Amino acid sequence: MVTFLVCFLLLLIGFFTYSKIVERVFCVDDRATPATVHPDGVDFVPMKTWRIFLVQLLNIAGLGPIYGALSGACWGPRVYLWIVFGTILGGGVHDFLSGMMSERHDGASISEIVGIYLGKIMAIVMRIFSVILLILVGTNFSLGPAALIGKLTPEALNTTFWLVVILLYYFVATFLPIDKIIGKIYPLFGGALIIMAVGIASVLLFSGSYVMPELTEFIGASAPAHPTGLPMWSMMFVTVACGAISGFHATQSPMMARCMTSEREGRTVFYGAMVTEGVIALIWAAAGVSFYNGVGPLSDAISSMGAGNVVYEISTTMMGPVGGVLAMLGVIACPITSGDTAFRSARLTIADWFKIDQSGWKNRLFLSVPVLLAGAVLTQWGDFNTLWRYFSWSNQTLAMMVLWAGAVYLHRNGFPPAACFIAALPATFMTAVSVTYFFQAPECLHLPTSVAYPVGLVAALLLLAIFVWREWIANQKKVLKKA
């Protein structure tokens, strides 16, 4: 319990301290925002801060901080450290920069921003990468909740039925103006999400029925390994996904950047939502390893029952029938409220790519239909675990790209080198994670760690060297131009 409480406090301290440093580095001001300059009633819609925060939270808090945290807990309380420091130093910085860079580029999609700062080739890569990732997210976040709702309803209303219902809802949410559905119902889903988090945490802390393992039990030569033998580096960092840092968030932040009425909302909306998601991930990681009384039984439960059934069993056992249903509503709302905005963001990314105006319904329909059809086809694959692994890796790789773009943005806009490394250091770390995973993961190259580890390290150091060299050259050109 001590480890859990310390990590929880660290997340809160991180928000009230480090987020202010990041905000000060970015130099927020009182300039006009895209929502106030050209509101279009569809995507550029001014909204209140609390509403934007809840929408952003529910956009980003999909299955990642729940399923990812449960899977990450199979490495024990060591995952708490990644959730805490990954959120504060990586995820919060990533989400803040992606949202604020979009706000200062007229609400542009993240692929367009990356293209501005990393070049035209990277713009093309990011456009393709983002659309594929977003469709994968929408697919993952329709299969999971459909199965969960199927468990709470009569047999006739099975997973297939709810999958169709969810996909139809996704189409409506993708097509209609953002304040018509998303801006209205997300606060209600937010209530369910809060009840879920508070309820599970309260039972863990105050019921006396569960013993949370301490970090000290998982340090040293005798520390339990992952039950299946998976190495912690870099598998754990990718498995947790959205619970610590997520490139998917960078595709969502521009939607809220188009709704802000002041730059000063950025720290609460972007960094604050990420810290809140980190808290959710921490709670579910603790719940998983405590409920099943160890990493081995937790891993066996996930393997035999599936993550959805594990969530259902934890919720109903810990909180009883009524509390369990409320908790499950939160779990169901999380992926649904990320899935709809994933497809919506895919539409906006394609629209920005090909400069297709979205104020008219015909253009929105022209893009919404093929995006949803692609997601519907993928749901028939039926292999959720494989889809999740591909999503997780592409997710962290996208985060790496966005952080590098953020580092270049800071330098190009006159910030001192020390400030640039607020983004460059987590970008280097995520480069090592993503490249190592690609070389070692079973669904990728599946090479031994003796190959994957050094390749990942060299790739990270190489990109850091390229960043320092390119920005030094750019700086010298500025000096010569002034001279």
Q: How many domains does the chain have?
A: 1
Q: What is the pLDDT of residues 347-359, one digit of tens each?
A: 999 999 999 999 8
Q: What is the pLDDT of residues 22-45, one digit of tens each?
A: 999 998 999 999 999 989 999 999
Query: Which of these, 161, 108, 171, 113, lies nearest to 138 by C-alpha position?
Result: 171
Q: Is residue 482 part of a domain?
A: no
Helix crossing, 307-354 with 120-152: angle to 10°?
Answer: 140
Q: Is residue 215 part of a domain?
A: yes
Q: Is residue 169 part of a domain?
A: yes
Mind listing the pLDDT tens digit of every residue in the chain (483 residues)? 899 999 999 999 999 999 999 999 998 999 999 999 989 999 999 999 999 998 898 888 766 788 889 999 999 999 999 999 999 999 999 999 999 999 999 999 999 999 999 998 989 988 998 888 788 778 877 877 888 788 778 888 888 899 999 999 999 988 999 888 888 887 777 767 777 788 899 999 998 889 998 988 888 766 778 888 888 998 999 989 888 999 989 999 999 999 999 999 999 999 999 999 999 999 999 999 999 999 999 999 998 987 778 888 898 889 888 777 776 666 777 778 778 888 999 999 999 999 999 988 899 999 999 999 988 888 776 555 566 667 778 889 999 999 999 999 998 887 777 788 999 999 999 999 999 999 998 878 889 999 999 999 999 999 999 998 887 777 766 666 665
CATH of residue 66: 1.20.1740.10
Residue 439 CB burial class (10 angstroms; 0-12, 13-18, ≥19): buried
> Any idea of the CA torsion for 413, 417, 422, 428, to the nearest 10 degrees?
110
Q: Which helix (H) or strand (E) holds 427?
A: helix 417-440
- Cβ atoms of 25 and 159 closer than 8 Å: no
What SS3 class is residue 338?
A: helix
pLDDT value at residue 341: 87
Q: Is residue 29 part of a domain?
A: no
Structural domain harbouring 317: 2-19+37-386
- Cβ atoms of 293 and 211 closer than 8 Å: yes
Query: Which of these, 319, 324, 318, 240, lies nearest to 280 by C-alpha position?
Result: 240
Q: What is the pLDDT of residues 75-124, one digit of tens each?
A: 999 999 999 999 999 999 999 999 999 999 999 999 999 999 999 898 99
Helices (H), 153-224: 159-175, 182-206
Q: What is the pLDDT of residues 409-461, one digit of tens each?
A: 998 887 777 788 999 999 999 999 999 999 998 878 889 999 999 999 999 99
**In angstroms, what CA-CA distances link 230 with 236, 440, 442?**
9, 10, 10
Q: Is residue 412 part of a domain?
A: no
Radius of gyration of the chain (CA): 21
Q: How far apart are CA 296 and CA 226, in angstroms?
A: 8
Sequence-separated (6 or more) residues with CB below 8 Å from residue 98: 110, 113, 249, 250, 253, 254, 270, 402, 406
Q: At 222, phi and psi to the nearest 5?
A: -90, 5
Q: Is residue 309 part of a domain?
A: yes
Q: Is residue 77 part of a domain?
A: yes
Output DSSP code: residue 242. Answer: G
Task: Give the global pTM.
Answer: 0.91
Q: Is residue 276 part of a domain?
A: yes
Query: Which of these, 321, 169, 144, lies nearest to 242 by C-alpha position?
Result: 144
CA 310 to chain centre: 21
